[in-house]
Amino acid sequence: MKIGFIGLGIMGKPMALNLITAGHELTVFDIIEENMNTLKEAGAVVATSPKEVAAQNPLILTMLPNSPHVKAVVLGENGILEGAAPKTTIVDMSSIAPLASQEIAKTCAEKGVKFLDAPVSGGEPKAIDGTLSFMVGGDENTFHEVKDILSAMGASVVLCGDIGAGNTTKLANQVIVALNIAAVSEAFMLSTKAGVDPAKVFDAIQGGLAGSTVMNAKIPMITAGNFAPGFKIDLHIKDLANALDTGHEVGSPLPLTASVMEILQNLKADGNGQCDHSAIALYYEKLTGSNIRTS
């Protein structure tokens, strides 16, 4: 199938490559020209604007940083809606505010264009393997039209509800991940300061109730002092800001999320915004003057 793909960063690039491997014909666009090189070499057509992508493709996928970027690409000048024919489908796989998804979907519907929000979890390794988890919001018929295409990039594709439900589910995911990394960092600093080797603590507790996918992925990074992204602190700040806004709107207080947000803000102020979110451990290292390292 002919597919347009906009946003070829850490996640978008491997996801787009998996669609080419699955036999789809891609037209791609990114504001950073060199981000399109790998796709061009793999056979994708390179466009000069979202409008041009839309004029050539009945299905357009976007993988962009946040709500303003998706609004600009879909609704802005030279955006998708300027080039899209009626019945075009847009699937936005970015993690953005649920309210923004609803606003964008409404404007699309006025032009006869279908829109789904379909953020993912799994990070770069699962984007490369094609085993991401998709959480989708929107119309059921449109979901079934694109489910097989999303399955070329993911191991799980779940319709969570109406438009915005995908991003609401993703906010829950991001709250759980951020708080889990903070809990793991706090606990491993405690045991390290008290004189126990973090490798032994990890070995002893990973199979019990405290074990988690987050701990398995992040403790090896933390104990090696390797904070290369992965998922950047700056992007997690964006997600927690969207979670706090949404929580306040719907009347669901998020006291723990607010605390971890301040830890992330502290790390950003120290110049660590581009580090992996496992760098939450650095905050505890600053507090104690000790490192969490295996001996």
Burial 161-180 (b: 16+ CB within 10 A, else e): ebbbbbbbbbbebbbebbbb
- Nearest distance, CB of residue 195 and ligand NAD, angstroms: 34
The nearer residue to ligand NAD, 14 or 198, going by C-beta atoms, is: 14
Query: Looking at beta carbons, which pairs linking 248-254 to residues 24 or more positions away fall under 8 Å?
Result: 249/99, 254/175
Q: Which residue, judged by CB position, is nearest to ligand NAD in the bound state? A: 9
List 13, 114, 170, 238, catalytic entry: 170
Q: In the block, which residue shows the tokens 């002893």? A: 204
- Nearest distance, CB of residue 132 and ligand NAD, angstroms: 8
**Residue 136 DSSP SS3:** strand
The nearer residue to ligand NAD, 31 or 99, going by C-beta atoms, is: 31
Question: Tell me, what amino acid is at 254?
Answer: L
Summarize as ranges the residues that interact with ligand NAD (CB under 6 A): 6-12, 29-32, 35, 63-65, 69, 72-73, 94-95, 120-121, 123-124, 230-231, 235
The nearer residue to ligand NAD, 136 or 201, going by C-beta atoms, is: 136
The nearer residue to ligand NAD, 66 or 185, going by C-beta atoms, is: 66
158, β-bridge pairs = 135
- Nearest distance, CB of residue 256 and ligand NAD, angstroms: 20
Whether 170 is catalytic is: yes
- Nearest distance, CB of residue 174 and ligand NAD, angstroms: 8
Environment class of residue 158 by beta-carbon count within 10 Å: exposed (0-12), middle (13-18) or buried (19+)? Answer: middle
Q: Which residues are catalytic?
A: 170
